[in-house]
Structure formats: C-alpha cells, structure tokens
Amino acid sequence: MQRNEAPGDLELVRRFVNTRNIEEGSEELHSPDSLLTWFAGMDLLNEDGATADEKDLELTLALREGIRDLLLANNGEEVESAYLRELNRAARSVCLTVRFEHDGRATLEPESSGVSAALGRILAAVVQATDEGTWGRLKVCTNDACQWAFYDHSKNRSGKWCTMEVCGNRMKARTFRQRQASRNGVSHPAQQERE
C-alpha cells in the first residue's frame, strides 16, 4: 500500500475524488465516454454495453465534488450546504439495497445497472467506511490549490496535507510569511485586495 492509499473499498472513493487534479487543472471525467472508461477500469460496470450521457456526467461530477467537500470536513473544514444538497440529490438517484451474506454480514449493493450502479458502489464504500470507523481518516488536502484526497495514516489522525514535503511546506511557509508581515505592520497581499 502506498502512503496516501486507503484500505479496502475506501481506496475507490479516494481515486474517484482524485479524478480531478486541481493543482494541474486536469479532469479525467471530461465526457460521457471518459466516464464509462474510468468506471470500466475500476470494475464498476456490471454489464457490457453500458451507456452514459451528459446528465450522467453531471450527476457523477456533483457526487464527486460533494464527497470532496465531506473529505474537507474530515479535515476540520465546514461542510458547504450547496455541496451537501447536490450530494444528496445525486445520492437519491442511486438505488442501494441491503444484501445479507452467508456469514450474516449485511452489505449495500446497487439495484440498478450502468452509471447508477457504479455510483452506488462508490456510495456503498462510503457507508461501509463510516461503519468501520475509517471514513474520518479519508481527507482532502487543506491546500486550496491542491485538494488531493489522501488517507491519513497518522496515529492521532492529525494529517492536514497530502504530503508534508510539498503542500505542508508550502502552507507552513505561507503562514510564516503572513505572521512576519503582520508583525512588521505590513498587510498580507490577500488582505490588501480586500481593503
């Protein structure tokens, strides 16, 4: 397991959120075809010949950004009500049902097919991680220019950045510069813009 990878099915959620790379400005899910390709690559489509349209793409992106916002909340940020509304709207379109295994364990399984089933599997992984107590460790980097999803492996669950070497150092240097500027009576450039 790599340093930022999440255990079990939670890794699917991490990879899903990271289909948008904010720092690089890239988007893996840029069309209905790319959506199907990504879902197929993650073994989330349960049938051949699945189709997707712009509405499926819009729904998927809303779900992803809603989950990203929840992962920011796992890192101490406030949940944006607009993202939560969109997340709940997207989740309503996915039909999950409880299935019982031979060992008596209950799981959530999609009742539908295609894109809806793929999104259902992602949401089922979120619910499972919540039940297992691992959900709170899946976070999004607090560097606004990054927001990469990562799994916090620290003992005290205090990880704030995807990597200390890159985002951690950037954020600490930014905080240091802001403190120095305020001590010297110089307002920070962001503060000057507001004035």
Q: Cα 98 to chain center, whole Å?
A: 24
Is 1 inside a domain boundary? Answer: no
| Beta strand pairing call for 26-27 and 96-100 | unpaired
Predicted confidence at residue 95, as pLDDT, reads: 86
Range(s) of the domain holding residue 185: 163-195
Q: Is the pLDDT of residue 188 over 90?
A: no
Residue 98 has what DSSP assignment? E
Residue 195 has what DSSP assignment? -
Q: Is the pLDDT of residue 172 over 60?
A: no
Given pLDDT bands bounded at 50, 70 and 90, which one contains residue 38? very high
Are both 23 and 50 inside the same structural domain?
Answer: yes
Predicted structure pTM score = 0.81
Predicted confidence at residue 102, as pLDDT, reads: 92
Q: pLDDT of 138-169, one tens digit each?
A: 999 988 888 899 999 888 776 776 655 556 44
Look up the CATH number of the domain holding residue 104.
1.10.3300.10
Cα separation, 177 vs 181, in Å, equals: 6
Predicted confidence at residue 170, as pLDDT, reads: 53
Q: How many Cβ atoms sit within 10 Å of the Cβ of residue 114?
A: 19
Predicted confidence at residue 163, as pLDDT, reads: 56
Question: Two tokens at 19?
Answer: 């289909």
Cα separation, 68 vs 148, in Å, equals: 9
Q: What percent of the chain has pLDDT over 90?
A: 54
Are both 21 and 114 inside the same structural domain?
Answer: yes
Are both 82 and 169 inside the same structural domain?
Answer: no
Q: pLDDT of 50-95, one tens digit each?
A: 999 999 999 999 999 999 999 999 998 999 899 899 899 888 988 8
State the total domains in the chain: 2
Is 4 inside a domain boundary? Answer: no
Predicted confidence at residue 128, as pLDDT, reads: 93
Are both 169 and 149 inside the same structural domain?
Answer: no
Are both 117 and 36 inside the same structural domain?
Answer: yes
Predicted confidence at residue 27, as pLDDT, reads: 97
Is 2 inside a domain boundary? Answer: no
Read off the pLDDT of each residue in 28-36 and give the average, rounded to a whole number: 97
Predicted confidence at residue 143, as pLDDT, reads: 85
Mean pLDDT is lowest, of 30-39, 104-113, 164-173, for 164-173
Residue 178 or residue 34, greater confidence: 34
Read off the pLDDT of each residue in 181-194 and give the average, rounded to a whole number: 56
Are both 104 and 86 inside the same structural domain?
Answer: yes
